Amino acid sequence: MYQYIIRRVLQFIPMLLALSIIVFGLAKAAPGDPFSGKILDPEVGMEIYEKQRAELGLDKPIPVQYLRWAEKIVQGSFGESITYKGRSVESLIKERFLNTVYLGLFALFITLLVAIPIGIYSARRPYSLLDYGSTTFGFFGLAVPNFFFGLVVIYLFSIKLGWFPAQGTLSSNKLTGFAEFKDRIHHMILPGLTLGLASTASYMRYMRSEVMDVLGSDYIRTAKAKGMSNNNVLYKHTLRNALIPVITLLGMELGPLLGGAIITEQVFNFPGIGTLFIGSVINRDYPVVMAITLLLGVAILVGNLLADILYSVVDPRIRYD
Amino acid sequence: MLKHFKHRFALLILLLTLGMILAACNKDGDKELSDPNGSKTPDVSETDDGEEDATDDGGPKDGGTIVGAMYSAPAGMFNPIFYEEAYEANILDFTHEGLVTQNDKLEFISNLAEKWEVNDDQTEITFFLKEGVKWHDGEEFTADDVVYTYQAMSDPEYENAGGVRVNYVAPLLGYEAYQSGETDVFEGVVADGDYKVTFKFAEPNVSPLYYASFPIIPEHIFSSISVKDIPEAAESKDPGKVIGTGPFKFADMIEREQYILERNEDYWQGAPHLDSIVWKVVAQSVMIGLLEKGEIDFVASPGGIAPADYDIVADFGNIEIIEQADFGYQLMGFKMNHRTTADVESGALNPDNWVPNKKLSNPKVRQAIAHAVNRQGLVGTGHGEGLLHGRGQPINSPIAQQMWAYDESAVTAYEYDPEKAGEILDDLGYVDVTGDGFREDPDGKEWILNFDYPTGNELRERSAPILQSDLENVGIKVNLRQPAEMSVYVPGLTDDNTDWDLYLIGWSLSSTDPDPAGLWATKAGYNFSRWNSPTSEELMQKAVKAPDAFDQDYRSEVYAEWQKHFSEELPALLLYAQNSLWAYNDRIQGIKILPHSMYQDAHEWWVEDAE
């Protein structure tokens, strides 16, 4: 098992190297550079940006620029952002990373909290009113654009009812300890709901079809024939087996989760990795783009590894040596 | 059967309910308004209470907090010499000050400088500084701070560190020698004692006050940091460490969410009434709701209120809207010349090598196009019309209309007249010979104008297909290409050894000096039309040439001539100047509205509900 994990982790290195070369190449292949999208200001001549390009080495051949970047990485630094003057890439990511993780986990929590029980219930009572209702609701959540759903909940729960704050992650720096925690959760409910409900449908459907599948299998019939109670059958035998595809889904989710949710972040002004990433792509802020891409690459690889390990936990037949 | 029916019924109810929720949410957007101009003033009954309170107590009250909204977070550079964004300016406008500022007529008036003297040939201007002005950390503001600010911007490392404001220091005496590192004696700005400072220019300068208007940063904070490291320094970024002389201190922030400004008790014009001003970053789509609810008290440039939302906000009753023309305009440019590939590669702007763009090189063709475009149609005359809902006007001069140099009477106003456009083109020989409904050029060859435009400004984006159809109405075939994001579009616009003909761009102009050379001089990088006119060049230089140009009336005359020349030559068709729409809750008192800002004298702002 440990050998397997070590082997997998070692495989990450060439993969990340390839990823960084491809992304760097693609980023550079896109027309424009960090200065070409600046707001045109008649008081600021274009020649100034020429000098700044040269200073950053943007006029050098792409392989040379890549090596310069890679050199810094090996030294353990992602370099400095170009758009955010005087800021290291680490500080920019750090500033938003926790927001993204909290929001992502909170949304995932809501997703699972809604999807798993409803999925199980729907499987046990297929074609019931709740089954139809939840399916409709789920697909509605999938079909309604995130930003629209976000605006609707802001309008209802924040502007009309005043239950939750509409924007941001925190009311004041003066809050500390538990008050701060409470305030952060308070701010997270609307964006978490918006983000969480969007992916509920797929989990719900997976859960429903898997549980139905397992319920129809031979060993469940055997268990029932032995006289096991319905609940026992469900929780001991069915769920464990039905969770496998959901774990796959979860493993794949880790990457996007850390990648942030651009639309939700924008509508709720919830500063996270998603808006930083899209902004950096638009501004051609290469160091930030590269750092986030690598971060996501690692997250996806680790997510898949974790899913593989979890398989062996829920399904004893799966073993890694 | 019955069971199925029940399910369908339940589904139907669910859908209907959702539909109703959505419809209810959309109600405000559909509201019909009777007043076509939407220039409703708030109902008297609603504002009465507040005003009575004010007269009862007779004057401003101390205390209270107001909340401003901006649509995007500042990048985080709170140092005047390095910041670049309007969002950062939202904070710096309250924390930092220059020697002079502008009044409602855009004249320079005293600020940190009490008075000034200019020598006869305008190569030197001497400022006498206010005494007793304190930095936020209690240190005294002196002439050394002024010298330091301009010296830092002239530093050899300044541009490499990301500074872009060289415009302010380039005309100073000895700038080049100091900037290139040849000498370390900075002679451009010289202090004489603590309260007297002289700016020296290499050549007679027609607008010395403009160059001296830059916000001053504290020497005692930055002199120990090398210019190269200033952008990284906490003193440029962190609340509590950013030090200015302004009425408010940058006290706290929740990065990318809130920026908190607190009263500067020792402000030299008197302590501000308000305890604090909080800037909140909010999504544009949510702002209006928060404004109505009172969670947001004011919103201004950049962005303000969208023209389409004017009537909704006016209807709230407790929100004052300030509508005035913006300093700037949108234009449709004509690529009059293209550069050669060799020049594009070397970055040279050498008019001698330029290749005329035959499709557009005849000024009459450009004038015909101007007549073909319904600019008033783009602007509209009221709510629901055009792109701007009437919140703007078509303009004909590239000088900001608030400026003393602006002269409406000098320019040709190309009124919308498709027939006239057709006649001009007919006379020039641009007629449809193939019978496909589009004109060919005088040689009978295909005549297609390529039209490129950027994303980023939604109204401008939407204007492109309208302009295309206006031109096609008079038989000009337009090849409207895919819009590109700015960072792709600008290189395309600059590296013009290509087939570009028509382009869209917007400029926001300075409120300080009308000199158009930055945009329209032949060799200016921003002269994207590659307009090469000796007459224009001569006039622009004449307008800033000492000693005649020391006289503003003289400059006005020359600029009038230049504007006339511009509108005949038409290197670009100016489409419209949008009105800026700022808004504030009427609980805030004492706001002073200037053409370029509403943040001046913020220490005099107060709220009626202060405790």
Tally of domains in chain A: 1
List CB contacts (< 8 A) between B460 and chain A.
none
The contacts of residue B276 (CB under 8 Å, 6+ apart) are B65, B248, B251, B260, B261, B262, B263
Whether residue B285 and residue A267 make contact (CB cut-off 8 A), yes or no, is yes
* A270 lies in some domain: yes
Place of tokens 């969007």: A198
* A295 lies in some domain: no
**Span B12-38, mean pLDDT?**
42
Q: What is the pLDDT of residues B263-300, one digit of tens each?
A: 999 999 999 999 999 999 999 889 999 999 999 999 99
* A192 lies in some domain: yes
Of A49, A156, A269, which has the smallest distance from its Cβ to B281's Cβ? A269
Of A37, A83, A168, which has the smallest distance from its Cβ to B486's Cβ? A37
Q: How far apart are the first and last CA of chain B?
A: 68
Tokens matching residue A275? 């808006």
Residue A3 touches partner B, C-beta closer than 8 Å? no
So what's the pLDDT on residue B42?
38
- How far away is chain A from the Cα of B4, in angstroms, using its nearest Cα? 9
List CB contacts (< 8 A) between B236 and chain A.
86
- How far away is chain A from the Cα of B116, in angstroms, using its nearest Cα? 25
B392 in Cβ contact with B407 (< 8 Å): no
Comparing A120-124, B439-443, B584-588, which segment has the lowest mean pLDDT? A120-124
List CB contacts (< 8 A) between A48 and chain B.
159, 164, 166
- CB contacts < 8 A (A, B): 171
* A49 lies in some domain: no
Of A42, A85, A172, which has the smallest distance from its Cβ to B509's Cβ? A42
- How far away is chain B from the Cα of A68, in angstroms, using its nearest Cα? 18
Q: What is the pLDDT of residues A37-82, one digit of tens each?
A: 787 888 888 888 888 888 888 888 999 999 988 888 888 888 889 8
A179 in Cβ contact with A216 (< 8 Å): no
* A240 lies in some domain: yes
**Span B296-324, mean pLDDT?**
92
Residue B490 touches partner A, C-beta closer than 8 Å? yes
- How far away is chain B from the Cα of A205, in angstroms, using its nearest Cα? 18
Domain span including residue A110: 93-279
φ/ψ of residue A83, rounded to 5: -70, -45
B152 in Cβ contact with B81 (< 8 Å): yes
Whether residue A36 and residue B491 make contact (CB cut-off 8 A), yes or no, is yes
> Reduced to 3 states, what is the DSSP secondary structure of residue B272?
coil
- The answer on pLDDT for B345 being more than 70 is yes
Helices (H), B402-457: 418-428
CATH code where residue A149 lies: 1.10.3720.10
So what's the pLDDT on residue B58?
66
Whether residue B487 and residue A95 make contact (CB cut-off 8 A), yes or no, is no
Name the residue of chain B whose CA is nearest to A264's CA: B283
Of B254, B286, B505, which has the smallest distance from its Cβ to A173's Cβ? B254
Mutate to test the interface with B, among A85, A94, A197, A289 (most CBs of B within 10 A): A85
So what's the pLDDT on residue B399?
93
Q: What is the pLDDT of residues B104-154, one digit of tens each?
A: 999 999 999 999 999 999 999 999 999 999 999 999 999 999 999 999 999
Of B347, B494, B510, which has the smallest distance from its Cβ to A42's Cβ? B510
* A30 lies in some domain: no
B53 in Cβ contact with B236 (< 8 Å): no
Phi-psi region of A79 (alpha: psi -120 to 50; beta: other; left: phi over 0): left
- The answer on pLDDT for B28 being more than 60 is no
The low-confidence residues of chain A, meaning pLDDT below 70, are: 321
Whether residue A284 and residue B76 make contact (CB cut-off 8 A), yes or no, is no
So what's the pLDDT on residue B57?
56
* Among B403, B393, B394, residue whose Cα is nearest residue B552: B403
**Of chain B residues 253-292, which have a CB less than 8 A from chain A?**
253-258, 280-283, 285-286, 289-290, 292
Q: What percent of chain B has pLDDT over 90?
A: 78
* A241 lies in some domain: yes
* A155 lies in some domain: yes
Of B10, B254, B491, which has the smallest distance from its Cβ to A132's Cβ? B10
Q: What is the pLDDT of residues B526-562, one digit of tens each?
A: 999 999 999 999 999 999 998 899 999 999 999 999 9
So what's the pLDDT on residue B49?
40
Mutate to test the interface with A, among B485, B528, B596 (most CBs of A within 10 A): B485
Pairing of strands B502-508, B319-325: unpaired
This complex has an ipTM of 0.85
Q: What is the pLDDT of residues B214-252, one digit of tens each?
A: 999 999 999 999 999 999 999 999 999 999 999 999 999
Mean pLDDT of chain B: 88
Name the residue of chain A whose CA is nearest to B520's CA: A42
Name the residue of chain A whose CA is nearest to B5's CA: A129
